[in-house]
């Protein structure tokens, strides 16, 4: 009787030990959505780009955020085009918008290449193509920064695109680390 009790106590403590084991691992990166976005500078924006899916590995998270950035960049390019043809923007302002539009087109091409790089696991190419995307996007702002008094009509897009590009690069970097 006594030995049966001590046996069941031993089993109980073994069970408790096993049950507590995952808790001590909680600080390790899990495969959950939150932990993937935790590697980025803008985790809230990262999560909204990934949607509601709960368990996303770094590769599919990178693919999803690249696709979300493609959609936003296409929107920004369409908006720049509408402004160019609206007749409400002229001179330097119009020139800057054309630069934005061209560079958004280049960003879209580089994003498409990034997806290919991701699927073929060409990690160095992936990082350099995503860096080029960041440069393309920030180039839109440069013309306005260099012209005092000229306000960018793209500013609302610009901030999001720039942050999303930063997140894509952070997620792509985590792919290599195996997080």
Binding mask 33-72 for ligand NAG (x = CB under 6 A): ------------x--x------------------------
Do 153 and 94 meet the contact criterion of CB atoms below 8 Å apart?
Answer: no
- The token duo for 32 is 């959950």
**Which DSSP category does 150 fall into?**
-
Task: Note whether 156 binds ligand NAG by CB under 6 A.
Answer: yes
- Cα torsion for 31, 123, 128, 158, to the nearest 10°? -20
What number of chain residues touch ligand NAG (CB under 6 A)? 19
* Nearer of residues 57 and 106 to ligand NAG, judged by Cβ: 106
Task: Note whether 102 binds ligand NAG by CB under 6 A.
Answer: yes
- The token duo for 44 is 């809230």
| Cα–Cα dist 104/116, whole Å | 19
Task: Note whether 81 binds ligand NAG by CB under 6 A.
Answer: no
Task: Note whether 96 binds ligand NAG by CB under 6 A.
Answer: no
Cα separation values, 114 from 14, 91, 155, Å: 49, 35, 25
Among 113, 152, 166, 173, binds ligand NAG (CB under 6 A): 113
* Nearer of residues 45 and 69 to ligand NAG, judged by Cβ: 45
Residues 6+ apart with CB under 8 A from 77: 100, 101, 104, 105, 108
Do 111 and 151 meet the contact criterion of CB atoms below 8 Å apart?
Answer: no
Among 132, 137, 170, 175, binds ligand NAG (CB under 6 A): 132
* Nearer of residues 29 and 92 to ligand NAG, judged by Cβ: 92
Task: Note whether 129 binds ligand NAG by CB under 6 A.
Answer: yes
**Which DSSP category does 179 fall into?**
-
Applying CB under 6 A, the residues found at the interface with ligand NAG are 45, 48, 99, 102-103, 106, 113, 116-117, 122, 125, 128-129, 132, 139, 142, 156-157, 160
């Amino acid at each position: 009787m006594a030995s049966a009790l001590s046996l069941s106590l031993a089993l109980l403590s073994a069970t408790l030990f096993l049950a507590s084991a995952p808790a001590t691992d909680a600080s390790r990166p899990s495969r959950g959505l939150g932990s993937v976005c935790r590697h980025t500078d803008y985790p809230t924006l990262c999560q909204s780009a990934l949607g509601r899916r709960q368990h996303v590995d770094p590769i599919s998270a990178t693919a999803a955020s690249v696709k979300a950035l493609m959609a936003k960049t296409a929107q920004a390019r369409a908006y720049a085009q509408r402004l160019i043809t609206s007749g409400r923007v002229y001179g330097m302002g119009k020139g800057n918008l054309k630069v934005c539009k061209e560079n958004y087109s280049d960003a879209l091409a580089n994003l498409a290449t990034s997806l290919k790089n991701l699927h073929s696991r060409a990690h160095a190419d992936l990082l350099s193509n995503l860096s080029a995307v960041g440069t393309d996007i920030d180039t839109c702002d440069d013309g306005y920064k260099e012209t005092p008094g000229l306000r960018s009509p793209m500013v609302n897009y610009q901030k999001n695109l720039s942050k999303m590009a930063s997140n894509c690069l952070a997620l792509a970097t985590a792919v290599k680390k195996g997080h």
